[in-house]
Structure formats: C-alpha cells, structure tokens
C-alpha cells in the first residue's frame, strides 16, 4: 500500500525523516502503520497511516480581510467523508483563479509566485516548498497560493483540483482588500462634559502611515449613543453632551463593514495632579528625566527651568487620565 523511502542527511546510516507514497490502487479506506527504530536504544515508534480518497477541499486563510499592499498565503486542505484532514497535499496540481466580485475588469488581488514571496526566502532549506515552487514553474499551481492586495474592494478566489477525474472538487472564498486604519487619540478617550475632540485618522499606503485629510470622500464618522455625544460625520469632531459611554465609529464606505471603533467616555473629574519636569538650557525636555507628581515634595535647583503640567483623573479605583481640551477652563 505504501512506499517508504528514508531520507539521509549527514549520515548514511541514520535517517530522521522519510518520504511516504501511496502506491496501491484505491479500493476503499485502508489503514497501515510506519515504524522507525532507534539504532542505539532499540526504541520503536509507530505512526498510523490511513489511505482514503478526498471528499471535499477547502481554502484556508487567517482572515478574509487583507491590507492594501499586504500579502496573504492561501492554502488548500482536503477532507475525507468523515471530515478527517489529509496530512499533506504536496505534489498535487491545483488550478487557482482570481475573479473580480462585480465582474468588472478591475482586479483587487494579484498572484505572487511562491519563489518571489517571503516563503521563497528559505536559504536552500525549503523542504516541501521546493516541490510546490516546481509546480508553479511548470505552469500549474500547488496547494499554496500567495496573493497581494492591489486595490480596495472584494475579489473571488477559486481553486479546483487538477488531477485526472477530480476537476469537480473545488472551493472559493471572497477576500476583502482594505486600507488599515488607526484613530488618534487612541481608545479609550475620557473627556468632561462640553469638551470637543478633533480625531485624526491614519491609513497604511505602500506600507507607510499617511494622515487622511478631512473631509474625505471615503470616510464617515458616527457615534452609537447620540445622547452622550455627537460627531461631525465628515470632519471627525466629537462633542461631549452628557455623562456616559459610547463608541465612535469611522467607516471606509468603499468596503462594506470596514470600520475602526474607539471608546468615548464622558466623565466627572475627581483628582487634579501637577507634574514637575526639568528643562534643558535650550528649553526642551531632558532625556531620561522623570516627572514628579505634586503628591511628592518638589526639590528644584536655583535658576534652572522647569515645566509644570496639569493632569486630571476620573473617579473610581481605576482612575484614568482625562483628556483636557481647549474647552476646559483651567
């Protein structure tokens, strides 16, 4: 049923791996075992091997959302009729296809050959990847498929097994390509009643963070609880109305469901603390210096400049710093 070929590395007498090939024609599910013996201790280890036919295949990926200019490695897994996963599909031929979801001419993904991807940087110790790269070089595809996000949108990725008599076995997924977004100030944000906060938005383009200029035709802001705060949907300015907690949401309207969320708290102040920091002769901050809070005694040097900062904290045991805006009268 099986052919077992030991693989020898540094020694011609010791093998730590073997290549296993199914050689018998299929006549139903079969079970056998492979044994390996430690030549010094005589210890024998055993591995069960099941031989069966595929029932279905499925594309696997860590996430269905891909950053613009980012890479994703898709791989195929095969299952038998009992949903057991086959250990390896290396050496089998697959056909992959990229199709724009809206059947237009704009593609949002492009295929990156395995040898040109980060996977190909294996220093000559590629193992199974060497076989998979050879399949691609011959005009077929392997069970691994690397894609790059090239435009914002959605793309259908499909695959079918290209071995004789198995072309019907196929699967497909839809990948979404979107710009990675980050909001500043970072979540959570605590403010006082009446405060206004201007949020900024950065996106990753060509692997470089870039600030988004408002108003943006692609981004809209909203809050979930308008009794706590309201937001200018184009400019990202939030106004605190009443005590409470809400979520601020910014959405890229080019991609359905692509949002970034920040927690927004309107609180009462509880504690005001002063912090003392030394300044250099040029008036700038001193490296590796520490700010001393007003709960401690301050010692200062004559004729030296210092910076005094005010920080306000919320109520409760887990007191958190409150963001002070130009609207506060201090």
Q: What tokens does 148 get?
A: 């790059």
Q: Which of helix, strand or coil describes residue 32?
A: strand
Q: How far is CA 164 from the centre of its chain?
A: 37
Measured distance CA(238)–CA(194) in Å, rounded: 10
Is 181-266 in the same CATH topology as 56-178?
yes
Task: Indicate the pairing of strand 94-100 with strand 15-22.
Answer: unpaired
End-to-end C-alpha distance for the chain, whole angstroms: 83
pLDDT tens track of the chain, all 330 residues? 888 888 876 666 788 888 888 887 777 888 889 999 888 898 999 999 888 889 999 999 988 889 999 999 999 999 999 999 998 898 899 999 999 877 667 889 999 999 888 886 665 555 688 889 899 999 889 999 999 999 999 999 999 999 888 878 999 999 999 999 999 999 999 999 999 999 999 998 878 899 999 999 999 999 999 999 999 999 999 999 999 999 999 999 999 889 999 999 999 998 899 999 999 888 888 887 888 888 889 988 898 899 999 999 998 767 789 999 988 777
The residue to which tokens 């296993």 are assigned: 20
φ, ψ dihedrals at 130, nearest 5° = -60, -40
Task: Indicate the pairing of strand 170-178 with strand 65-67.
Answer: parallel
The residue to which tokens 């990926």 are assigned: 61
Which residue ranges make up each domain of the chain?
Answer: 2-51, 56-178, 181-266, 269-314
Domain 181-266 class in CATH: mainly beta
Q: What is the pTM of this model?
A: 0.74
CATH topology of domain 56-178: Immunoglobulin-like (2.60.40)
């Amino acid at each position: 049923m099986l052919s077992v070929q030991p693989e020898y590395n540094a020694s011609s007498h010791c093998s730590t791996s073997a290549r296993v090939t199914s050689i018998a024609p299929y006549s139903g599910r079969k079970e056998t075992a492979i044994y390996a013996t430690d030549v010094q201790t005589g210890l024998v280890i055993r591995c069960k091997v099941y031989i069966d036919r595929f029932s279905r295949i499925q594309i696997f990926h860590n996430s269905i959302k891909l950053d613009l200019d980012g890479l994703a490695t898709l791989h195929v897994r095969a299952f038998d009729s009992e949903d057991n996963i086959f250990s390896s599909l290396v050496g089998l031929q697959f056909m992959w296809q990229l199709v724009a979801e809206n059947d237009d001419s704009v593609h949002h993904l492009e295929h990156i050959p395995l040898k040109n991807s980060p996977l190909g940087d294996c220093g000559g110790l590629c193992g199974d990847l060497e076989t998979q790269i050879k399949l691609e070089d011959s005009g077929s595809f392997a069970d691994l498929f690397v894609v790059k996000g090239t435009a914002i949108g959605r793309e259908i990725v499909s695959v079918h097994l290209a071995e004789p008599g198995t072309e019907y076995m196929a699967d497909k997924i839809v990948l979404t390509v979107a710009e990675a977004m980050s909001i500043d100030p970072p979540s959570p944000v605590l403010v006082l009643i009446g405060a206004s906060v201007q949020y900024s938005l950065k996106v990753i383009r060509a692997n470089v963070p870039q600030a988004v200029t408002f108003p943006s035709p692609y981004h809209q802001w909203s809050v979930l609880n308008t009794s706590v705060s309201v937001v200018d949907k184009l400019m990202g300015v939030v106004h605190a109305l009443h005590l409470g907690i809400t979520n601020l949401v910014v959405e890229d309207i080019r991609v359905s469901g692509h949002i970034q969320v920040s927690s927004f708290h309107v609180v009462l102040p509880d504690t005001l603390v002063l912090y003392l920091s030394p300044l250099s002769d040029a008036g700038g901050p001193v490296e590796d210096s520490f700010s001393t809070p007003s709960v401690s005694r301050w010692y200062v040097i004559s004729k030296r400049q210092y910076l005094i900062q005010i920080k306000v904290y919320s109520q409760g045991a887990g007191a958190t710093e409150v963001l002070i805006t130009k609207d506060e009268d201090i």
